[in-house]
Amino acid sequence: MLDKQVCKNIKMVLLDVDGVMTDGSIFINHDGEFFKSFNVKDGLAIELLRSHHILVGVISGKASAALDTRCQQLGFDEIITGCKNKLPALVNICSKYKISADQIAFLGDDVLDIPIFEKVGLAVAPIDAHSLAIDSADWVSSLKGGEGMVREFADLLLTTQLNLPLKDVYKPLLDKIRLDDVATMEQ
């Protein structure tokens, strides 16, 4: 379970990518191009969070054309890639959006994420994260990275934050679908 007061305070969700939105696999072809596999359930989670006025961003240690494409598709508010030390990025994001670190939830899976886990209001890890990341997390998903853990977290965060049943949390998305207002909706 998530702490209700902590959830009510969350204004932004930041994600690591490899091991969170993906299973951590990187496919490289003979030309050296990267390919990654993303879960569409997580894509819809981004839309769900934004429909409830939660800012969403990426701070990823890796940079690739595949990641840039996916981030653009999903319309993240903040996209920072190729970032090994995520703490300066966190400070800049807080300043840019005029929020404090305790108003941010960060989803990460490895030791590079532990320093940022220690600064944010809510640290989240997939069940297959490195043991030290799991030990540092406030909440651990029942799912592995790349298997919909972002969606599982978004559902739990919003039902807790809004004190609503899941069907009511999804009402803004369902209303858009019913009105055929889906041109900007991405999975």
CA distances for 97 relative to 54, 55, 91, angstroms: 12, 9, 10
Cα within 13 Å of Cα(72), Cβ side? 6
d(CA 28, CA 128): 23
pLDDT in tens, 87-110: 999 999 999 999 999 999 999 999
Which domain does 137 fall in, by range? 4-179
Residue 186 resides in a domain: no
pLDDT score of 186: 63
Feature table: binding site for substrate: 18
Cα within 13 Å of Cα(157), Cβ side? 34
Feature table: binding site: 16, 18, 109
Residue 16 resides in a domain: yes
Residue 106 resides in a domain: yes
Feature table: binding site for Mg(2+): 16, 109
- Cα 11 to chain centroid distance, Å, stands at 12
pTM of the model: 0.93
pLDDT in tens, 132-142: 999 999 999 99
Q: How many domains in the chain?
A: 1
User: Cα dihedral sign for 52, 151, 8, 4?
Assistant: positive
Residue 99 resides in a domain: yes
Residue 187 resides in a domain: no
CATH code at 20? Answer: 3.40.50.1000
